[in-house]
Amino acid sequence: MSYDTINILHLEQFKSKIELLETRLERNVLIIELKFYKQQILCPICGSAHIRFLEYKYKKIIHSISTHEKSVIRWHMRRYQCKLCKKTFSESNPLSDSNENVSLYTKMSILNYLKDYNHTFTSAAHHYYVSIQTVINIFDRYVEAKRRKLPKVINIDEVFISRAHKYKYACILYDFMHRKIIDVLPTRHKRYLIDYFARIPKTELSSVEVVVMDMWQTYRDVIKLCIPQAKIAVDSFHLIRTLNEIIKRIRIDTMNKYKQHKSAPVHDDMYYYMLKKFHYFFLKEL
């Protein structure tokens, strides 16, 4: 075991504790066999010092020391049994957080990588050989992104996340004039939004003059309650989309009236055809 090897593997903080360190390449993955010296420990259940060694368990921990190949620590983890209370337990894990398979070094590398705003969760996952969701979880756990100060004109909208999440839609607060995100909220639920705005100083809320939104009633209710002086504006995208849907519904209802009368004159068939095939004429000025 060489100190140079320990440094290359970024395990220098453990060099006085390492009993075994071996490396091998297996299917383009660097496997790091690692075992620490046995330490004097107490039973975490009853505190007894009378314990006996049971076996080794092998825990795989992603330890991304290079962006060119995946590397995994195969930690030889000791299992013990307390002679007094008969409970079994493992030696403490200094490599990663409890019940996680990503090393603390890898987490720190990912967080440093994400400091560059050009880097994405996807590129971080690719560089450090973890899933995108793992990168997101690390970011959410360790990074507290402060919101921007509320400007005079804000836009409030939602974005679909996933049906697998607790909340399907996240709420986005957007600086309309400077085109910057103010904050991203985990849900658009009414109670959550009211509580969120209630935590913002009244002097800051009073500076908001206009809130741009879609026609969802919850947003209107929240803004009228929390920022009563602000004018509410419906954004053109949602307004035009709603008008399109209304026109489409009227067109289809009218078209179906001609379709139902099979014995009607021939010109009725012409009206049906025109309403069906040339519907874009109705939207020409929108």
pLDDT of 280: 58
Q: Which of 35-44, 83-92, 123-132, 255-264 comes out lowest in average pLDDT?
A: 255-264
Q: Quick one: DSSP state of residue 103?
A: B
pLDDT of 195: 96
pLDDT-derived band of residue 266, with 50, 70 and 90 as boundaries?
very low
Higher pLDDT, 259 or 65: 65
Higher pLDDT, 42 or 241: 42
pLDDT-derived band of residue 269, with 50, 70 and 90 as boundaries?
low
Which residues have C-beta within 8 Å of that of residue 216, sequence separation ≥ 6?
A: none
Q: Are 135 and 127 in contact (CB under 8 A)?
A: no
Residue 208 pLDDT greater than 60, yes or no: yes
Furthest CA-CA distance within the chain: 100
How much is the average pLDDT of 54-70?
A: 93
How much is the average pLDDT of 277-282?
A: 60
C-alpha distance from residue 259 to each of 34, 246, 262 (Å): 77, 20, 7
Q: Name which of 59, 94, 71, 75 is nearest 21 in CA terms.
A: 75
Q: What is the pTM of this model?
A: 0.63
pLDDT-derived band of residue 238, with 50, 70 and 90 as boundaries?
low
pLDDT-derived band of residue 245, with 50, 70 and 90 as boundaries?
confident
Residue 267 pLDDT greater than 70, yes or no: no
At residue 127, what are phi and psi to the nearest 5 degrees? -70, -35
pLDDT tens by residue, 169-188 = 999 999 988 989 999 998 99
pLDDT tens by residue, 117-156 = 899 999 999 999 999 999 999 998 998 878 899 999 999 9
Q: How crowded is the C-beta side of 233, counted as CA atoms within 13 Å?
A: 14
How much is the average pLDDT of 266-282?
A: 59
pLDDT of 3: 75
In the predicted model, what is the mean pLDDT of the chain? 87
Q: Are 103 and 95 in contact (CB under 8 A)?
A: yes
Higher pLDDT, 243 or 222: 222
Residue 165 pLDDT greater than 80, yes or no: no
How much is the average pLDDT of 245-255?
A: 75
